[in-house]
Structure 1
């Protein structure tokens, strides 16, 4: 297993490109989550599994909520202004469902991080992880192909600058 520590290719001066780069990181972290299950099934909660669990916990506890907040503050309102309430509502509902499913996964990953995942609970945990990953991937696809292109095209440069500054400011806080 490898840890995922690559930085996004875009900066806060390009907020939509930055959010798309975050999607790439999310996808890699979801793949890591799935790989943890296979690894633990074969090797138990060894150092690699513990480190990978820490990485997934860190990403979806810190970065993903900030990303969702970016979208809820900047993308969803723009979609609503464009008359695409249905897409905005679906993406917001996805965020709430992903948050709920994440809460179910945290104890699994904490157990692996702590080296105490009982073998008999691994299959059920892996099913939870797969459901989470499938939901997230569908959500990312909708944002990348539907939400971001239309919201980005309708966002003036001055608003993009303010958006990027606000996103950066929340991360510094």
Structure 2
């Protein structure tokens, strides 16, 4: 069974804590990836039934809307700070990951749109697994190294400005 009821639930973190917000987004990414993998397995067996169409809608909504905003947050607020602290190679890797995620998402999106519309059988299992693996490695690098390095020694005013900008782009 594919369920998406908890897809948009998440920790109650606000933009006044921008790095905590980025981490909360990772939790939502993980739930969306898990839904994608369950959806792929379900659709392979059951085709474009109502559950599959609903789940495809939810996965599309997340990775079309929230995912790109999250990547933009990182590119505006994390990657420049990494470069400024001598971690340019890490910043470049994360930026390359974002580009590759965009390419992989474009291919998955086509299959998910067809499934959502009832005319397809869903995305390829290997493509879904590759996308999830890319994201897993990316999030691990951010959580383990990038976010702590970017947040280190930021003052309250800088954090507030970062949170304000992130919130404004979502209005």
Give the CA RMSD over aligned residues.
Answer: 1.2
Q: CA deviation at 1:141?
A: 0.6
Q: Give per-residue Cα distances to partners, 1:50-88, cap 9 Å, x unaligned.
A: 010000000000000000000000000111111100100
Residue number in structure 2 paired with 1:2 = 3
Report the TM-score when normalising by structure 1.
Answer: 0.93
Residue number in structure 1 paired with 2:144 = 145
- Matches of 2:96 and 2:11, distance apart in 1: 26
- Tell me, which stretches of 5 or more residues in structure 1 are unaligned? none
- Matches of 2:125 and 2:82, distance apart in 1: 34
Kindly indicate whether residue 31 of structure 2 is the aligned counterpart of residue 28 of structure 1. yes
Contact 1:53 / 1:112 at 8 angstroms: preserved in 2? yes
After TM superposition, the structure 1 = structure 2 runs for residues 71-86 of structure 1, keeping only pairs within 5 Å, are: 71-86=74-89
Residue number in structure 2 paired with 1:158 = 157
Kindly indicate whether residue 16 of structure 2 is the aligned counterpart of residue 17 of structure 1. no
- Matches of 1:125 and 1:145, distance apart in 2: 30
More helix by share: 1
Displacement over 2 Å in runs of 4+: none
Say how many residue pairs are matched: 168
Contact 2:42 / 2:52 at 8 angstroms: preserved in 1? yes
- Tell me, which stretches of 5 or more residues in structure 2 are unaligned? none
